[in-house]
Chains A and B, each alone.
Chain A
Amino acid sequence: DTGVSQDPRHKITKRGQNVTFRCDPISEHNRLYWYRQTLGQGPEFLTYFQNEAQLEKSRLLSDRFSAERPKGSFSTLEIQRTEQGDSAMYLCASSLARDTTYEQYFGPGTRLTVT
């Protein structure tokens, strides 16, 4: 399978705990994106990487959120001191920046529930 993969698929945590999600992009893709989606809404951009460099962060990404992409391969998204408002689907996408082709391919998502 050469698609985007995410782990875990589901995470239930108690308020105040830290959680970390992993995303493995399509192997030749140099751009990686994180989005958050709540029920009835479209995905909202959080941050993106080109290779290992984090080039943009949304104002939605509070200081409790941190993302890394060491060596430009997989990425991790960590949420510290989780709050109930963090409950959402966290989606990872990847793309190959080439000419005018910008299609982003999404993974299956990680569903986070904060109790």
Chain B
Amino acid sequence: EDQVTQSPEALRLQEGESSSLNCSYTVSGLRGLFWYRQDPGKGPEFLFTLYSAGEEKEKERLKATLTKKESFLHITAPKPEDSATYLCAVPPRTGGGNKLTFGTGTQLKVEL
């Protein structure tokens, strides 16, 4: 069964203190890895899709990277508004439909 593990479970940063979140997966023949942001009481908001090792994508203070075994979400000079839970997810190796298997997320809090 596909597994996705995220670490750390929770992270507290000071404003401007850069860090990285990790997402490791066991799916072979990866067909994509997705990053989402989720604010309390809301649905996940799509951030990035990565398809192949070495690929990188950026959006404002966020940069996602992918290797053959894991993905990192780098947060550069975070602001309090970056506080949220960050989820990663993968589709199954085979089959259609693209149902996603999610990790449990990293809860990020950025303080002034």
Contacts and interface: CB of A to CB of B under 8 A. Distances in A.
B102 A109 contact: no
Interface string B90-112: 01000111111111110000000
Contacts of B95: 56
Interface stretch (B11-19, B42-50, B61-69, B74-82): B42-50
A74 interface: no
B98 A104 contact: yes
A40 B46 CA distance: 19
Contact of B41 (A93, A107, A111): A111
Interface bracket on A: 20 to 34
Interface in B1-55: 4, 31-32, 34, 36, 41-46, 49, 51
Contacts, number: 70
Contact of A55 (B36, B97, B105): B97
Interface residues of B, number: 27
Contact of B100 (A4, A43, A111): A43
Contacts of A45: 99-101
B34, B46, B91: most-surrounded residue (chain A CB, <10 A): B46
Contact of B89 (A6, A42, A107): A42
Contact of A31 (B34, B43, B97): B97
Question: Which DSSP category, helix, strand, loop or mixed, fits chain A's interface?
Answer: strand
Question: Which DSSP category, helix, strand, loop or mixed, fits chain B's interface?
Answer: loop
Contact of B46 (A58, A103, A107): A103
B87 interface: yes
Nearest to B42: A108
Interface in A73-109: 91, 93, 95, 97, 100-109
Interface of A: 4, 6, 31, 33, 35, 40-45, 48, 50, 55-56, 58, 91, 93, 95, 97, 100-109, 111
